[in-house]
Amino acid sequence: MGRLNRWVNRTAGGKYQLQTGRICQALIYPWDNKHPYKQEELETGTTFVNALTGKRVNQIQLAQQISKISIAAPLPETSEWLKTWQATSGELVPLGYTIQVILADDIAKIFQPLVKPSLEAQKWAVSVRITNKTKNWERNKALKFYRIAPTKEVYYHPEIGEYEPNNELLKNRYGHKT
């Protein structure tokens, strides 16, 4: 909803007017997929939308409604990029091209009864850097063009993506998890 009615122009009289010239409406529809949202997030969103249904609200009213929602506060996270007061050059993974793959540990989640594997695979695909090893990774016809990344060869964490195993800071922080 934050993207609706956000662009304004200042008129000659010093007032603000929406660029669209009208108040835009939000289109809200139920989300029945299990990714990428957690059940608590979906329930919180439904509660929020139900409280606003049929009403014309402004930003202050939106903020007030959001403040009424009771959800567990997220735990503080540290970021490897923000550990110092000063930005430094460098990257987690050296520059290069990437390829979409399926992590070996996710294969069982893709092959489920009544699920088309090629469509389900799209939800689980992750980007990894192309190396000499990637061209030798196994393929499964049911997954179309996706290669299967062996657990031993890809260091991956859902918060930061793929990372180099020789990056001791990240390896110690996240471990070798898929």
3-state secondary structure labels for all residues of 79-124:
CHHHCCCCCCCCCCCCCCCEEEEEEHHHHHHHCCCCCCHHHHHHHH
Give me the number of domains the chain comprises: 2
Report field, pTM of the whole predicted structure over 0.95: no
For the chain, give the mean pLDDT: 79
Query: Quick check: 94 pLDDT over 60?
Result: no
Position 77 in a domain:
no
User: DSSP 3-state assignment of 127?
Assistant: strand
Residues 6+ apart with CB under 8 A from 125: 100, 101, 102, 146
Asked if residue 103 and residue 56 are part of one domain, the reply reads no
Asked if residue 60 and residue 112 are part of one domain, the reply reads no
Mean pLDDT of 78-86: 53
Count the neighbouring beta carbons within 10 Å of the beta carbon of residue 68.
Answer: 9
Query: Quick check: 102 pLDDT over 90?
Result: yes
Query: The domain containing residue 12 runs over which residues?
Result: 8-68
- Give the sign of the dihedral formed by CA 66, CA 67, CA 70, CA 75: positive
Q: Which of 18, 52, 68 is the last residue of a domain?
A: 68
Position 86 in a domain:
no
Q: Which of 26, 52, 68 is the last residue of a domain?
A: 68
Instruction: State the Cα–Cα distance between residues 109 and 163, nearest whole angstrom.
Output: 23
Position 1 in a domain:
no
Are the beta carbons of 134 and 102 closer than 8 angstroms?
no
* pLDDT score for 60: 83
Position 74 in a domain:
no
Asked if residue 119 and residue 57 are part of one domain, the reply reads no
Asked if residue 50 and residue 104 are part of one domain, the reply reads no
